[in-house]
Structure 1
Amino acid sequence: MLSLQAKKANTSIKGQDLLTLADYSPATIKALLKKAKELKKAYLSGEPTPILQGKILGLIFDKPSTRTRVSFEAGMLQLGGQVIHLNGQELQLGRGEPISDTAKVLSSYIDAVMIRTLSHERVVELAEHATIPIINGLTDLYHPCQALADLLTIQEEKGKLEGIKMVYIGDGNNVAHSLMIAAAKVGMNLVVATPIGYEPNEKVTELAKKFALENGGEISIESDPTQAVAGADVIYTDVWTSMGQEAENAQRLIDFKDFQVNEKLVLGAKDDYLFLHCLPAHRGEEVTGEVIDGNHSSVFQQAGNRLHVQKALLVEILQ
C-alpha cells in the first residue's frame, strides 16, 4: 500500500519516520527549516554541533547516489554521530530475508535508517516493522529530503514561501510529487508543466490539492510550459529520464523536446526568477548551460542545503 494519506498533524517528530512530507504538518516543516538555518549558521561559522554523539545511522542504498550519500554521512559525522553503510545486495535482504525480519534486527543495533531504493512500498514495509525511525532517501514515489532543501533555498532567496509561484517543468516523477506536497503544505502556488501522458500520480495530485486548499496555496497541472512559466518566481526542472528508465530514453527525448528550460522559455518568468534543479543535470536536454550556469541559478546552494535540512531532520528525530 502506498503511503499517500496524511497522519494526524505533528508538531514534534522525535522517534518518527519520514516517508513522505504528507505525514508532516506545516508547522513541523517550518520548524525543520528554522532548525536547518540554525545548523547552517553554526556550520558556516565553524561552531561544533556534537548533538548526536553516540547515535548511529544506517545507510541503505539500492540505487547509486552522490548527494544523498555524502550529505547524510557528512551531516551525521558533523553532529557527532556515526554511520554504517548497508548495501542492499550485501544484506540478507539480497538473499530473500523478509523486510520485516531485517527491520527488527536493525532496530536492535542502530538508532535510525536512511534508505534509498526503488519501491516506495519497500520503505513503508521497513517502517511498519522497525522500532527506530526510517528516513526515505528516495523512492519511485517520493523524494522528501530533496523537497526540504528546495524549500530552504527558496526561503533564503525569496525571503518567504507563502504566495510564491513555482513552476516545475518536466516529468511528473518522485521529485515532482514531493514538491507538490511540500509547496501545498507551506502555501505556495505550484504549476507542474509536463507532456500529456507524463503527469504526476493522480492520488498524489489529489492529496496535494487538498493540502493547498487547507494552507492557502494552489496546485495545478499544465501541458504548455510557456503558459505555465508566466510570472514565475521559481523555475524548477529535473532530468527527463530517471534511473531505471533508460530503455525509454529515446522516446522521452522526443516527448519532452518542447519542455527544455532555455533562455527563450524563461523570458516569461519574473525578472528576478530563481532557477532550481535537483541534479545531476544533463545540459542541452532538460536545461541549457546558459540557464543552469547563469545568474538566476542556485542549484549548488540548493544541493548544499541537503546537508543542513537533513541534519535538522536527524536532530529532531533522534535528539
Structure 2
Amino acid sequence: MLSNTFRALQSPAAAARVAALSTAKRGMSISSLTQFEGKHFISIDQLSNDELRGLLDLSKKYRDTYGKGSSVNPVEAPKPLTGQSVSMIFQKRSTRTRVSTETGMNLLGGQSLFLGPSDIQLGVNESMRDTALVLSRFNSLVLARVFAHDDILELSKYATVPVINALSDLHHPLQTLADLMALEDHFGNLKGKTLAWVGDGNNVLHDLMLGGAKLGMNIRIATPAGYDANSGVLETTKQLAAENGTADVFETTVASEAVKGSDVVVTDTWVSMGQEDEYEQRVKEFDGYQVNSALMAQANDGAVFLHCLPRHPEEVSDEVFYSEQSLVFPEAENRMWTVMAVMAAQLGKL
C-alpha cells in the first residue's frame, strides 16, 4: 500500500499508472474466483491462496462500489444477485452477521430469509438432511450460524447449493476475512507482520491464525492453561506457516510474551454464548489477559487492536478499545463486504 505522502509526490500521470496497475492486479485475483463457484465456505484452510486473495480483493471492490464514500448511486449500482436468495439459519443470535448479510444481499439485488430458533429447530423436528434438501430447493445459498461444527458439516453434506459457515464452535471464517481486510487496509502487505492473540483458544482464533499463516504473518498465541486452541487446527496452521514462509507460530500462557514485538493484538469474548454458567470461573482464570495500555505498550510502535464484538470491559479497556489503535469498527463494517464477496463468488456472479 502506497503512503499518502508518496502519492502526493507522484505526477498525475504516474499516479494514474499506479492506480491502473492496482486495478488490473485486483481484477486478476478476482478472476481466480471462477474456481470457487458452487463451493461451500466452511473454514479458511479450505481456501486456496488465490481464492483467499480473490475474496479479499472482491470485498474491497464491493466497498468501493457500494460503500457510503462511493460516487455510485446505490440504486444504479450493479445488482449481480438479482433473483438469488439466501436462507439464514441462526441457532445463535448475532447483530453483525444478520445485519451484514441481509444488507449486503439487498445491495447485490438478492433476498435473504432469517430463520431463528423459533422458526426452525435444526435437526430436532426435522432432520438436518431433510432441512438441507428442502432449503436447497427454495434458495440459492444456505448460511448457518450454529453451536456444533458437525451441524455445518452435515448441512454441507446434503445441501445441493453452497453453504456458508457463519460461525460454529470450531470455525468462524467470515470474521477472519473481515479482520484480514481491516489489517490490509491499515498495513498493506501483511507478510512478515506479527499477530498476537490474547484470550480463549476459540473459533475466532482458529480461522484467524489459519488466514494469517496463509498471508505470511507470524502468529503468537497466549491462552490460559486449559483454554488452548484446537490441536488439529494448530497443526494445520503450522503446516500453512511452513508453506507460506511464516517465520513463527509461538504459544504461551503469558499475555505479555505473546504481545511483545507484535503489530496486531487481538482478543475476543472470554465467555461465549452457551458458556454463561462458566462466567465466574473464566473471568478468574483469564486474570491478567485484559488488553489495556500497559499490555499494548509491549507491542511494536504503531500496533493496532482488533476485537470481533460484542465486547466486555474485562476483555479490553476503554482506553484501548476507543483509541486510534483500534480497528474494531472498520473490522465490523467489513463483515458486510466480505459476506457479499463470498455469496457472489459461490454463485459465480462476480
**TM-score w.r.t. length of structure 2:** 0.86
SS in 2 for 1:257: coil
Confirm or deny: 8 A CA contact 1:10 1:24 kept in the other structure. no
| Aligned position for 1:132 | 161
Where in structure 2 are the equivalents of 1:1-319 lying within 5 Å? 12-44=35-67, 45-47=70-72, 48-91=77-120, 93=122, 95-217=124-246, 218-283=248-313, 285-318=314-347, 319=349
Cα distance change, pair 195–92 in 1 and its aligned pair in 2 (3 A): closer
Query: How much is the aligned-residue C-alpha RMSD, in angstroms?
Result: 1.4
Deviation of the 1:91 alpha carbon: 2.6
Deviation of the 1:234 alpha carbon: 0.5
Deviation of the 1:289 alpha carbon: 0.4
Distance 1:313 1:54 in 2: 17
Identical residues among aligned pairs (%): 42
Deviation of the 1:184 alpha carbon: 1.4
| Aligned position for 1:6 | none
Distance 2:202 2:259 in 1: 19
Deviation of the 1:90 alpha carbon: 2.1
> Which 5+ residue runs of structure 2 have no aligned equivalent?
1-31
Cα distance change, pair 261–77 in 1 and its aligned pair in 2 (3 A): same
Confirm or deny: 8 A CA contact 2:145 2:168 kept in the other structure. yes
Distance 2:234 2:110 in 1: 37
Cα distance change, pair 107–223 in 1 and its aligned pair in 2 (3 A): same
SS in 2 for 1:12: helix
Distance 1:46 1:251 in 2: 51
State the one-letter code of the partner of 1:146. Answer: Q
Distance 1:92 1:273 in 2: 43
Confirm or deny: 8 A CA contact 2:190 2:216 kept in the other structure. yes
Deviation of the 1:117 alpha carbon: 0.6
Cα distance change, pair 220–10 in 1 and its aligned pair in 2 (3 A): farther
Q: State the Cα deviation string for residues 207-264 of structure 1 (Å, max 9, x = none).
A: 1111111111132221111111111111111111111111111011111111110111
Q: State the Cα deviation string for residues 170-212 of structure 1 (Å, max 9, x = none).
A: 0001101111111112111111111111110111101111111
Distance 2:310 2:91 in 1: 18
SS in 1 for 2:52: helix
Distance 2:121 2:188 in 1: 47
Distance 2:71 2:272 in 1: 36
Distance 2:245 2:122 in 1: 44
Confirm or deny: 8 A CA contact 1:234 1:275 kept in the other structure. yes
Q: State the Cα deviation string for residues 87-107 of structure 1 (Å, max 9, x = none).
A: 244236464311111111111
SS in 2 for 1:101: helix
Deviation of the 1:153 alpha carbon: 0.3
Q: State the Cα deviation string for residues 125-153 of structure 1 (Å, max 9, x = none).
A: 00000110000000100100000000000
Deviation of the 1:265 alpha carbon: 0.8
Distance 1:16 1:224 in 2: 39
Confirm or deny: 8 A CA contact 1:11 1:27 kept in the other structure. no
Q: Which is further off, 285-294 or 215-224? A: 215-224
| Aligned position for 1:5 | none
State the one-letter code of the partner of 2:178. Answer: A
Distance 2:270 2:152 in 1: 24
State the one-letter code of the partner of 2:309. Answer: L
State the one-letter code of the partner of 1:286. Answer: E
Distance 1:182 1:11 in 2: 20
Distance 1:250 1:206 in 2: 31
| Aligned position for 1:4 | none
SS in 1 for 2:35: coil
Distance 1:264 1:193 in 2: 16
Confirm or deny: 8 A CA contact 2:34 2:345 kept in the other structure. no
Distance 2:279 2:121 in 1: 33
